[in-house]
Amino acid sequence: MQDIEFTNGLLDFINNSPTPFHAVKTMSEILEQSGFKRLHESERWSMQAMTQGQRFYVTRNDSSIIAFQLNQSLVESGFRMVGAHTDSPCLKVKPDPEIVNRQYLQLGVEVYGGALLNPWFDRDLSLAGRISYIDENDEIAHHLIDLEKAIAIIPSLAIHLDREANKERTINQQKHLPPVLMKLPESTSSGKDKDKPASFNNILLKILNAQLKQTGELHVAATEILNHELSFYDVQPPSVVGLHDDFIASARLDNLLSCYTGLMALVDKQNTQNGLLVCNDHEEVGSMSAVGAQGPFLRSVLERLTETDEDFARMIARSTMISADNAHGVHPNYGDKHDGNHGPILNAGPVIKTNANQRYASNSETSALFKHLCGLADVPVQSFVVRSDMACGSTIGPITASEIGVRTVDVGVPTFAMHSIRELAGRWDAYYLYRALKQNLQN
């Protein structure tokens, strides 16, 4: 795959993946097109049917996914694994979100993960996620929605009303973040008549039935919304920016960029090694869930692919994990936030992340393996260590390593504005990481 094709595919993937549910749906479609067969956790898996050269994938909660290809004996060769995560910091709609304030309809939101909040103001926001509902047959069903169009905005307070805004402005998450959706009729919002603004569930019901009809899936109409997991997102599409098209600007680069690079490496038909990609949900909130890296999803799949505990242990001992999650590029305006010898530069190659306190899982052995892969793929490589007087973030790497005992290295693409509503990464770094991950499955 050439760099232009890869970059365009990455932009399309992110644009089609406003939530973890949509990311897993999009990845599943790509896997199906590449000859991967879907497995279901609730069904029996026949190891006899899983012959060399076959490809499979399995999802959990529609928000985490594991895909793998068998090319050699698992016990003798192990897996070359790549791990990433499907979630990103965002604003999630509360269960009963309706707020009527000064004749405006707003929705109450919770901050998911460690979001950089200021950039969320004055952006054109849409809504996407999963809806659970009752249909006309009185059965529970679930459906993904994406409104695509801008339906809301969080307006900033004018500087005339806050003269110190450029020096000091704090954000109260409860008071200042509810997006504005519409102006209500005066009689409705002031309570002068008995009419009340339509409940959010009623609005969702109309949207859901319209989308089911539009997609041809309206066999049985929805009659009642039971629950929803919906997130606001910026409708501005991803783009290539820079005087010489050097950068990718987009929401959710952390960590859909790694999901896509791992996916493209896995679907390559020239792979000779046993490859596995795991993309977990809930990394941004600690990974402790049934679908997070600290949950049992990956271990459960791996145990079902081996017949005995002994085989499982031998497979893990022969396996490696590349935990791919974005790294902090050294910001030219804030260079003092980095260790002088470990400031990754955008478009200078993927980064190996290390931390003495095991916030990253890299060690000298696994770092050497990744450096060797980069050398074979003719890819530059950098290193990152956080300043000794600053706290260090973490990834699914240490969690996965401790949960299943696999040798792990933490790597990532250098990024600016991590956890902003719009992040920036090097266009070439994404392609470099893809080449290194592809080398891992063909070496």
Residue 239 lies in a domain: no
Same-domain status, 272 and 224: no
Helical (H) or strand (E) element with 88: none
CB atoms within 10 A of CB 241: 13
pLDDT (0 to 100) of residue 211: 87
| Domain assignment of residue 245, yes or no | no
Residues 6+ apart with CB under 8 A from 279: 23, 24, 27, 64, 65, 66, 83, 84, 85, 86, 259, 262
Q: Are 260 and 361 in contact (CB under 8 A)?
A: no
Residue that the structure tokens 């893990």 belong to = 316
Q: What is the mean pLDDT of residues 145-155?
A: 97
List the CATH number of the domain containing 161: 2.30.250.10
Structural domain boundaries enclosing 211: 90-234
Give me the helix-helix angle, 396-404 and 297-304, nearest 10°.
40
Of the three residues 234, 260, 278, the one that is the final residue of a domain is 234
What Å distances lie between residue 3 and 9, 286, 326, 355, 425, CA to CA? 10, 34, 19, 32, 15
Mean pLDDT computed over every residue of the chain = 93
Helix, strand or coil for residue 435?
helix
Q: Identify whether residues 73 and 94 lie together within a single domain.
A: no
Does residue 244 lie in a domain region? Answer: no
For residues 11, 60, 272 and 79, what is the CA-based torsion angle, rounded to 10 degrees? 120
Q: In whole angstroms, how far apart are CA 170 and each of 87, 164, 177, 285?
A: 26, 11, 12, 22
- Sign of the Cα torsion 345, 351, 352, 355 reads positive
**CA–CA distance from 215 to each of 13, 132, 145, 210 (Å)?**
20, 17, 11, 9
In this prediction, residue 187 carries a pLDDT of 62
Helices marked H in 163-240: 173-176, 186-190, 200-214
Q: Are residues 18 and 106 in the same domain?
A: no
Q: What is the pLDDT of residue 52?
A: 75
Reported as a single tens digit per residue, the pLDDT across 93-116 is: 999 999 999 999 999 999 999 999
Residues 6+ apart with CB under 8 A from 309: none
d(CA 307, CA 304): 7
Average pLDDT over residues 281-307: 95
Report percent pLDDT > 90 for the chain: 85
Place of tokens 């790294």: 327
Torsion of CA 116, 10, 290, 38, to 10 degrees: 170
| pLDDT attached to residue 132 | 96
CA of 131: how far to CAs of 177, 204, 226, 231, in Å?
23, 8, 8, 11
**Averaged pLDDT for residues 297-320:** 96
Q: Could you list the beta-strand ranges (E) of 261-330.
A: 275-280, 320-324, 327-328
C-alpha dihedral sign at 329, 330, 333, 334: positive
**Shared-domain flag, residues 225 and 257:** no
Which of 178, 204, 234 finishes a domain? 234
pLDDT tens track for 318-376: 999 999 999 999 999 999 998 888 889 999 999 999 999 999 999 999 999 999 999 99
In the β-sheet with 247-250, what is the strand arrangement from edge to edge?
239-241, 247-250, 423-426, 414-416, 327-328
Rounded to an integer, what distance in angstroms lies between the CA atom of residue 319 and that of residue 79? 5
Phi, psi of 330 (to 5 degrees): -70, 120
**Tally of domains in the chain:** 2
Q: Which residues does 6 contact at the CB level (< 8 Å), separation at least 6? A: 264, 430, 431, 434
Q: Are residues 275 and 422 in the same domain?
A: yes
The encoded tokens of residue 282 equal: 């809930």
382-398 pLDDT tens trace? 999 989 888 888 999 99
| Residues 96, 83 share a domain | no
* Residue 245: both structure tokens together: 């098209």
Task: Give counts: helices (H), strands (E), the chain.
Answer: 12, 20
**Residue-level pLDDT at 215:** 74
- The pLDDT, as a whole number, for residue 195 is 45
Residue ending a domain, choose from 234, 267, 292: 234
Beta bridge partners of 112: 90
Instruction: Classify residue 241: in a domain, yes or no.
Output: no
Residue 41's domain is classified under what CATH number? 3.40.630.10
* Statement to judge: residues 74 and 123 lie in one domain: no
Identify whether residues 121 and 178 lie together within a single domain.
yes
Q: Which amino acid is present at 318?
A: R
pLDDT per residue as tens digits for the range 178-233: 999 999 887 655 544 444 556 899 999 999 999 888 877 667 889 999 999 999 99
